[in-house]
Amino acid sequence: MQAFRYFFIAISMVFVSCAVAHADTIDFKLDELVAKGRSSCEGNFELLDRAVQRFDFNSDGVFDLVVLDESGFYCKEFVSNYCGSAGCLVHFITPVDYTSWRAQGWKLERNEADQPIISFGLHGSYCGQAGARTCYDEISILEGRFLASDK
């Protein structure tokens, strides 16, 4: 019984250390990106509540995706420093992957197979259209990796 208890403690420590390593990876990248946004502001930088969203897809207490939306960056001296007609830079971070897009909006959905899908609006030039015509694309997340759509 004593050996089982030590085995259980050892296994628990492995799972906890993996979860902490994943959180550290995401938080390190998030801190790096926020610091970059802060450095481009010559004064009062503010990270608004909407800037960071965290998602736990399988309810295990570990964030599987963190989204940093620069529309939530505020710099008093440069009102449009982070966004323009093509949208705002949005960063998608998992424990094993990273991508960013200049988007005019985004949302997280699930497909028929219950896989997470990120849909976003893009500047028309991304799709060979006039810039004022928003076009749409999506990426899916499989085992923490971002996969481009076949659109």
pLDDT of the residue at 77 = 78
Residues in the chain: 151
Q: Are 101 and 113 in contact (CB under 8 A)?
A: no
Residue 133 DSSP class: S
Q: Which two tokens stand for residue 3?
A: 């050996």
Q: Are 101 and 66 in contact (CB under 8 A)?
A: no
Instruction: Quick: pLDDT tens for 88-111.
Output: 999 999 999 999 999 999 999 988
Residue 53 DSSP class: E
- Would you kindly state where each structural domain of the chain is located, as residue ranges? 2-148
Is the pLDDT at 85 greater than 70? The verdict is yes
Is the pLDDT at 47 greater than 80? The verdict is yes
